[in-house]
Amino acid sequence: MSDATSEWVRKPSAAGEGTACTLEEYEAMYARSLDDSDGFWAEQAERIDWIEKPSNIADWSYDPVDIKWFADGKLNICHNAVDRHVEAGHGNRTALIFEPDDPDGATRHITYAELRREVSRMANTLLKMGVAKGDRVTIYMPMVPEGAYAMLACARIGAIHSVIFGGFSPDAIAGRVEDCKSDWIVTADEGLRGSKTIPLKANVDAALEKVPAKAVLVLRHTGGNVAMKDGRDHWYHELSADVPDECPCEPMGAEDPLFILYTSGSTGKPKGVLHTTGGYAVWTETTFRYVFDYREGEIYWCTADIGWVTGHSYIVYGPLLNGATALMFEGVPNYPDHDRFWAVCDKHKVNIFYTAPTAIRALMREGDAHVTKHDLSSIRLLGSVGEPINPEAWRWYHDTVGKGSVPIIDTWWQTETGGTMITTLPGAHDMKPGSAGKPFFGICPQLVDNDGGVLEGAASGNLCITRSWPGQARTVYGDHERFVQTYFSTYKGKYFTGDGCRRDEDGYYWITGRVDDVINVSGHRMGTAEVESALVLHEKVSEAAVVGYPHDIKGQGIYCYVTLKVGEEPSDDLAAELRAWVRKEIGPIATPDHLHFTPALPKTRSGKIMRRILRKIAENDYGALGDTSTLADPSVVDALIEGRQNR
Ligand code: WT7
């Protein structure tokens, strides 16, 4: 990868001065965020309306693990994201712009005043249904404003939302509903993506055959035919018909839970990562403000789905806490054609555009004409998130989309970090294609070797964070021990990210990808163990081992080694069946890219599968298989290589 720095150009904007800082300001603020952490964060927290102002700022320990921020403060994050702006006289400002899947469909502009009414109406409807403070509400919605209303409505009444991405299967929904004992579901009849309908309500119905729920609130979106179960299912438009559009905000303790978001790890079922109210509010407000250099009146578009943390922090909470105008897009980048992103940027005069490298690579492949036929002169900042961006994609993003003059921010963070941790800041830092850049305020990255030895200066190692920050996840819902084990036990006293990373001589961080058994498929995290469990549930499968391998568009693809039960024969039909099976068990994002039937897996004499070897073979990299002498049966490797080459 090239280390060449690019000249940073901070684009002027008609909307006036932004919130970005110069390099000197960044350095002074960064130093203060560490030397006087309490003073720094108390000051950032002043942009939040507190019902009771916190006096206790940072209060955390990584051993034992107990994380609190602003603990004695009281606030409501929905008030801060919505009502506060109306009360400040900005009720007529657009909060959300909705761009539907169908380019000829109706665009919607929702002002902050309307947002307050809509969120209040949704909140009152949830209350009418029986939802109480502290209850978990599952939200399984398409990318429509009502999805954001549902999240904010929960926050308004103190319920804990658990949003599930609309691409997950009934089984995945059931597992999550059961894990957090969520009695309440908010969904829609159907979702729309690239003219295809997603049977959201039918998926919920299938999930609720396995786990109970008290009530399901259903938004009529496509008008498609769905079954409604008497006494359990309610149409939103019916149940909300007579509720008031005013609803008070519940005062919440800063450490009261705000949401649970399930994410894949290297072992077991997905974990319910828990975020709390005060720290998350301050963190998403502050990161959005500085990272995107947002200027009043600008149109900001993050292409993520609200089902992922990027949607939580940078479609809903971060932008709205800043009183920004955020675009919500229901569709996909390639419908009706490969120019949709750029058509939408042109149509709505988007100023800040934030997407994932996988989308950039997919669109790059379709050629420049899709980009150049649109007027993208409104764009003044481009962002990337979700996986390392390869320099080729970076260049195209910069030169073709950004016409060589728009800066790119590459934001590294995770579900568990709540918001951006490492990025260059507009105006402060030079960019290096492929490097996320520098730590955000309050963030102390550290690289350690496999034995936990701290690496100084230019080095490569495992990325840890040594100090807590306000937006850090507090626990795994219902299983604090798992939280401690997963993140704080590999390197005691430090938060371990699971990522490998290089720090160069300028102190820039280059994320090299996961070092655990998690793969990153199109910017989505997938636990290889989850795919394996799904495969072995199939009656013909005896054993499965799943690894990631480089994939041109997705970043990583899913490579599955499968051994069949005695008497079963490998075939193309069975491969297709297993692919469909995993899709059904987890969801389309988990669809295997490669199925490799093998009579045996490489194991040590103690029976441990040697994944290192499987990864190398999947990568077609046979020269570096390493030591295979500890294998119980080294000939397995030759058979695997042969199988790989015959594909
Ligand atoms: C993992 C977190 C960040 C929200 C979306 C994904 C990878 C994320 C970058 C980046 C290199 C990145 C890491 C991380 N990742 N952003 N800019 N450069 N890698 O959230 O599902 O929790 O996944 O995504 O491997 O650990 P997530």
Ligand 1 mutation target, pool 291, 412, 432, 509, most atoms within 8 A of CB = 412
627 Cα to the center of ligand 1, angstroms: 31
Cβ of residue 423 lying under 6 Å from some atom of ligand 1: no
Q: In which residue are the tokens 């989309």 written?
A: 401
Is 216 marked within a binding site? no
Is 293 marked within a binding site? no
Cβ of residue 472 lying under 6 Å from some atom of ligand 1: no
Cβ of residue 387 lying under 6 Å from some atom of ligand 1: yes
Pairing status of strand 381-385 against strand 408-411: parallel
Cβ of residue 511 lying under 6 Å from some atom of ligand 1: yes
- Closest CA relative to residue 400, chosen from 425, 382, 387, 427: 382
Query: What's residue 147's pLDDT?
Result: 98
- Determine the Cα–Cα distance for residues 193 and 73; give it in Å rounded to an integer: 41
> Do the beta carbons of residue 493 and residue 261 sit within 8 Å?
no
517 Cα to the center of ligand 1, angstroms: 14
Is 414 marked within a binding site? yes
Is 598 marked within a binding site? no
- Determine the Cα–Cα distance for residues 319 and 321; give it in Å rounded to an integer: 6
What's the ipTM?
Answer: 0.99
Angle in degrees, CA 416, 520, 270, rounded to 5: 50
Query: What's residue 634's pLDDT?
Result: 85
Query: What's residue 1's pLDDT?
Result: 37
For ligand 1, atom 27: residue with the closest CA: 414
Cβ of residue 331 lying under 6 Å from some atom of ligand 1: no
Query: What's residue 381's pLDDT?
Result: 96
Query: What's residue 643's pLDDT?
Result: 87
- As a dihedral over the C-alpha atoms of residue 135, residue 136, residue 138, residue 144, rounded to 10 degrees, the angle is 70
Query: What's residue 3's pLDDT?
Result: 43
Helix, strand, coil abundance in the chain, percent, nearest 5: 30, 25, 45
> Do the beta carbons of residue 163 and residue 176 sit within 8 Å?
no
pTM above 0.90, yes or no: yes
Pairing status of strand 518-521 against strand 524-527: antiparallel
- Closest CA relative to residue 446, chosen from 433, 435, 434, 459: 459
387 Cα to the center of ligand 1, angstroms: 5
Q: Mean pLDDT, consecutive 10-residue segments, the chain of 647 residues? A: 47 62 92 98 97 98 98 98 97 98 97 98 98 98 98 99 97 97 98 96 98 98 98 98 98 98 90 98 97 94 98 98 98 97 98 97 96 97 96 96 95 98 92 96 98 97 98 98 97 97 97 93 92 96 96 96 96 97 95 95 89 92 80 88 82
Query: What's residue 352's pLDDT?
Result: 98
